[in-house]
Amino acid sequence: MELINNLGLGFTTVLTFQNLTYSFFGVLLGTLIGVLPGLGPLVAIAVLLPFTFALDPVSSMIMLAGIFYGAQYGGSTTAILINLPGEASSIVTTLDGHEMAKQGHAGKALATAAIASFFAGCVATVIIGLFAPPLAKLAFQFGPAEYFSLMVCGLIVSVVLASGSLVKAFGMMVLGLLLGIIGTDSQTGLQRFTFGIPELADGLSVAAIAMGLFGLGEIIRNLESVKSGSMQVSKVTSLMPTRQDLKDIFQPMVRGTMLGSFLGVLPGGGALLASFAAYALEKKISATPEQFGKGAIAGVAAPEAANNAGAQTSFIPMLTLGIPSNPVMALMISALVIQGIEPGPAVISEHPELFWGIIASMWVGNLMLLVLNLPLVGLWVKLVSIPYKFLFPIVIIFACIGVYSMGNSAVAVATMAGFGVFGYILKKLECEAAPMILGFILGPMMEGHMQRALLIARGDVFTFFREPISAALLILAAVALGLVLLPSFQKTRSTALVDED
């Protein structure tokens, strides 16, 4: 009954003209961002972050959330029709989705992606509503030692789940922790690594770093590999799946939803990992694995369900624990802090209209996406034909305006430019930037909790092992690190990377 009352509050909050408008704008913009290659929800949220200052917290978070999960929908459209994934999490969809399109089943593939995404979005929203409140109540039992251990565990898991070399992923995490040190020590008030630059007293801007690494870095890489010429767009016929099609996609859709919902909560997980994992699972358990890569409908349903579910359940640790599971959630935390709201377990009790409003908006947003996406397929494909030489300057201009307006600081713009070049170099070196941005976000928080825990314990470092929850989290981190160092695990990891490529 309590859940029903809370959902009633959420729908009362979201079903106002203002919030419905922002939800519609968010999912529409998210779909557009997902369709256009080289962009993504991270860039869009970072660019729009300064423009949400004037909105109330509920409206701004509803719009930003819509952009995030809307991008998961949009990326599949061009992945199926022109073999060009607009979003990284839609890469797997090209394997069978575009093959279906070449065989004359583009409409069936698009309908499968839309139905799977809608189903996963609805189920993931239920999961958030059921599991987030108990997790928030558990978080009230956490002290500084428990939070420190939780963040250590989160960083280790993000390294374990990162693609590529383990050494590179660990190095990126350490680099993020070092970048997070820049600024003023909260305990002593001393400035560290500011080099006499006043703008660095508050540390580096997470929006500037995120836009540089994931936005400008990706633009530079795209400029290097952009292709000219017209794209061959598959013809879309019937969008209505048959009863047999629905039967064929049901179980893959359910498995993808469950797997994506779980991986979305993990640090370093999210939509990208969920889509690859769901595809690998379906191929492994299928009675006809040889059909995968040749137009298997399960190869579209499972990853599309997984990436949408993973995108939405990643809100659970962000809202209840104040811990981002991926770079987009790190920006969401920044958006809440800017609005004067401290992310963590108190959000549900102190701002129930915000928490339940976001959950209800996911149902509304997913319905909007289902109604919008299929009729607008032609429009999305035409947008992809816009020459990239016209598209990327607009993105860069908005990025510069957004970063500068956050603090009226030219240093932030220079930071974004520097990390844009750095992001391009990381791509060349095959280093994943996600562990770095998570280390940058969690590092200062982890340091603060460690200092408070040691102050309470009068410098006794064994306090982290005396508290049961803290000790369990540290043991979990050690086990995860131990597993990834095993030769058998590293062999599996290498095999997965070869399959992914």
Residues 126-151: pLDDT tens digits?
Answer: 888 888 888 777 777 788 888 888 88
Confidence label for 378 from pLDDT (cuts 50, 70 and 90): low
Chain center to CA of 123:
18
pLDDT at 212: 82
d(CA 471, CA 43): 37
pLDDT at 24: 92
Answer whether residue 401 shows pLDDT above 60. yes
d(CA 159, CA 174): 10
d(CA 199, CA 177): 19
Residue percentage of the chain with pLDDT more than 90:
4
SS3 341: coil
* pLDDT (mean) for 414-419: 89
> What average pLDDT does the chain have?
79
- pLDDT, greater one: 218 or 185: 185
Answer whether residue 499 shows pLDDT above 50. no
Answer whether residue 501 shows pLDDT above 50. no
Domain boundaries, the chain: 2-139+146-232+242-500
**CB 496 within 8 Å of CB 273:** no
pLDDT at 255: 92
Q: What is the pTM of this model?
A: 0.72
Residues 284-322: pLDDT tens digits?
Answer: 888 888 888 888 888 888 888 888 888 888 888 888 877
Q: How crowded is residue 241: how many other Cβ atoms within 10 Å of its Cβ?
A: 21
pLDDT at 85: 64
Residues 58-83: pLDDT tens digits?
Answer: 898 898 888 887 877 777 777 777 66
d(CA 363, CA 126): 9
d(CA 486, CA 339): 45
Lowest mean pLDDT among 91-105, 116-130, 442-456: 91-105
pLDDT at 432: 78
Residue in 263, 274, 332, 340 with CA at minimum distance from that of residue 307: 274
Confidence label for 227 from pLDDT (cuts 50, 70 and 90): low
What is the C-alpha radius of gyration for the chain, rounded to an integer number of angstroms? 22
